[in-house]
Structure 1
């Protein structure tokens, strides 16, 4: 065993990564710039810097010996896939030798947020379970869920067309209980491509852990934008304003005979073609005790 060398005790040296342009489109070239700085008191030998996009496309650059206080910058031009969408991480990972018998590493991640190509591709949560498999879904961070059987009794079967307030929605075409299936999006400011013209952009969904409140935005094909906000009641209980009231919900221990509600909400539109919608920023994802807005369907009517 090598003797302890206190001069080699240090905080991990930093690496950073940036990208240009700031808002690229799928299929467009981007330039990644990574900077590695040796903030320690010793030379870092055999240093290699790895750059990657979404954990797949990658490049390695040998930096060799990096002296104390020195910074090294590397750039890499790559092309986003034509079908890129949603969250695309750029990662810089540096590996280096501290001494002859030991190495260390450091990494940094920069996240690019591209538009989702469709509402269904934005789905990131499973909120519906079968009554005989209640632990396969979690709509509130506490492993509660909507019952597929209760939804079916209200006409909400996979892929079904339903109408509320004169507006037709298509219920998610996903089979409850299927591993990895997603049936709703937790509204967190994602951008979703949505074309069409009409008088209203309407959503079908519900909120958990309190009312789902937050700002959203409509983006028209000519580049103009329209802000809007939502205030969707909590799902628990039979609400007079609900589009659908289910007689019970599922929990990890089984059926809970308290009603839960689904709601329609939305924004009146201008008379022009839509390009996309920025979903209301209600939360940063699903967390127990934090209000979250779940969107199961959206349509232009």
Structure 2
């Protein structure tokens, strides 16, 4: 993170009061450990916000030589970046330090910002350091995957010019998809999940070229299944699942190119293949297979999914996603 040597407060800028602390404690495999918590951060900029970092000595020894650092997203100036805490902390005692962070103008749409504080010390739990993080969000994820559709993958053979699945004006044939059971709104079973083929007319937006969109999804299960295919042979990325308790898991997956790649590339599973594709000049390439695949990332089955952040790779194209038991 870029840290400014001096924090300038623009004329008329609001100075936000610190909010109540919320726990994001450091943890270890066993025993009581030093806890680091960060107070809430107001993202409604431009403003200078005060942020409290609290360190609690949960270890068996007196904690000494405490130093605390705090950092926000890249480019957000913090003053000071490091604070020394005088004296020592008995077992169970806490010390709070206050930092100021320059919050830029609020962005439109859904944004997640992550903040990190690190304490270094002697004594206490004997570990020498502990870290706490806090994520703040503004805006709301898209209501569902259909709300994020941004491309036309399926066209009728009599009207192909709206299609541009691959960036070269090509698309799946609605007729050939129907021949293998992929009609608008059709149920698709894959990897233990029940998914839905886009329930839209041919020649309209029907898929998501993935670029880190946040999509609302609710439920519990063992894995999150994606239905789609790749454009090019590098259609891979990581997806982060956010749960209702604020925790996350991240998994990687990928799809083969919609044609020519081995159908098991990137560990994907073939769902359906069609003959040929629609081009700008009509249906063609009848001897070539164009395919749809499934892949999955694991979930924590004990937790309820809140929303999903898609991979930041527009070569990954998605028709649906669903939770498998």
TM-score w.r.t. the length of structure 2 is: 0.55
Calculate the aligned-residue CA RMSD, in Å.
3.0
2:252 is the counterpart of 1:226: no
Once the two structures are TM-superposed, the CA of residue 205 in structure 1 deviates from its matched residue by 0.1
Once the two structures are TM-superposed, the CA of residue 162 in structure 1 deviates from its matched residue by 1.8
Contact 1:20/1:31, CA 8 A, preserved across alignment: no
2:273 is the counterpart of 1:256: no
Residue 248 of structure 1 aligns to a residue whose secondary structure is strand
Residues 263-274 of structure 1 mapped to structure 2, 5 A cutoff: 263-271=293-301, 272-274=303-305
Residues 42-81 of structure 1 mapped to structure 2, 5 A cutoff: none
Select the residue among 167, 186, 192 that pairs with 1:160. 186
Once the two structures are TM-superposed, the CA of residue 200 in structure 1 deviates from its matched residue by 1.1
In structure 2, relative to structure 1, the CA distance for the partners of 1:119 and 1:19 (3 Å cut) is: farther
C-alpha distance in 2 between matches for 1:211 and 1:130: 28
**1:108 is matched with which residue?**
none
**2:205 is matched with which residue?**
182
C-alpha distance in 1 between matches for 2:304 and 2:14: 31
- 1:167-215 CA-partner distances (Å, limit 9, x unpaired): 21111110103xxx31000111111010001111001000012230112
2:303 is the counterpart of 1:275: no
Runs of 4+ in 1 over 6 A off after TM superposition: 18-21
- Which segments of 5 or more consecutive residues in structure 1 lack a partner in the other structure? 1-17, 22-28, 35-76, 88-111, 284-291
2:148 is the counterpart of 1:122: yes
Contact 1:205/1:262, CA 8 A, preserved across alignment: yes
Higher mean Cα deviation, 141-150 or 241-250?
241-250
C-alpha distance in 2 between matches for 1:203 and 1:267: 8
C-alpha distance in 2 between matches for 1:113 and 1:244: 37
Once the two structures are TM-superposed, the CA of residue 86 in structure 1 deviates from its matched residue by 6.1
C-alpha distance in 2 between matches for 1:184 and 1:144: 14
Higher mean Cα deviation, 235-244 or 211-220?
235-244
- Which segments of 5 or more consecutive residues in structure 2 lack a partner in the other structure? 1-12, 17-41, 48-104, 112-137, 265-269
**1:201 is matched with which residue?**
224
C-alpha distance in 1 between matches for 2:139 and 2:312: 14
C-alpha distance in 2 between matches for 1:220 and 1:175: 33
Residues 65-144 of structure 1 mapped to structure 2, 5 A cutoff: 114-144=140-170
TM-score w.r.t. the length of structure 1 is: 0.59
Residue 240 of structure 2 aligns to a residue whose secondary structure is strand
Once the two structures are TM-superposed, the CA of residue 237 in structure 1 deviates from its matched residue by 3.1
Contact 1:238/1:261, CA 8 A, preserved across alignment: no
C-alpha distance in 1 between matches for 2:182 and 2:222: 25
Once the two structures are TM-superposed, the CA of residue 267 in structure 1 deviates from its matched residue by 0.7
Contact 1:130/1:149, CA 8 A, preserved across alignment: yes
- 1:249-287 CA-partner distances (Å, limit 9, x unpaired): 11112222211111101112112100011101113xxxx
**1:246 is matched with which residue?**
274
In structure 2, relative to structure 1, the CA distance for the partners of 1:115 and 1:297 (3 Å cut) is: same
In structure 2, relative to structure 1, the CA distance for the partners of 1:247 and 1:237 (3 Å cut) is: farther
Contact 1:216/1:228, CA 8 A, preserved across alignment: yes
Residues 16-55 of structure 1 mapped to structure 2, 5 A cutoff: 33=46
Residue 247 of structure 1 aligns to a residue whose secondary structure is strand
2:236 is the counterpart of 1:213: yes
C-alpha distance in 2 between matches for 1:245 and 1:20: 58
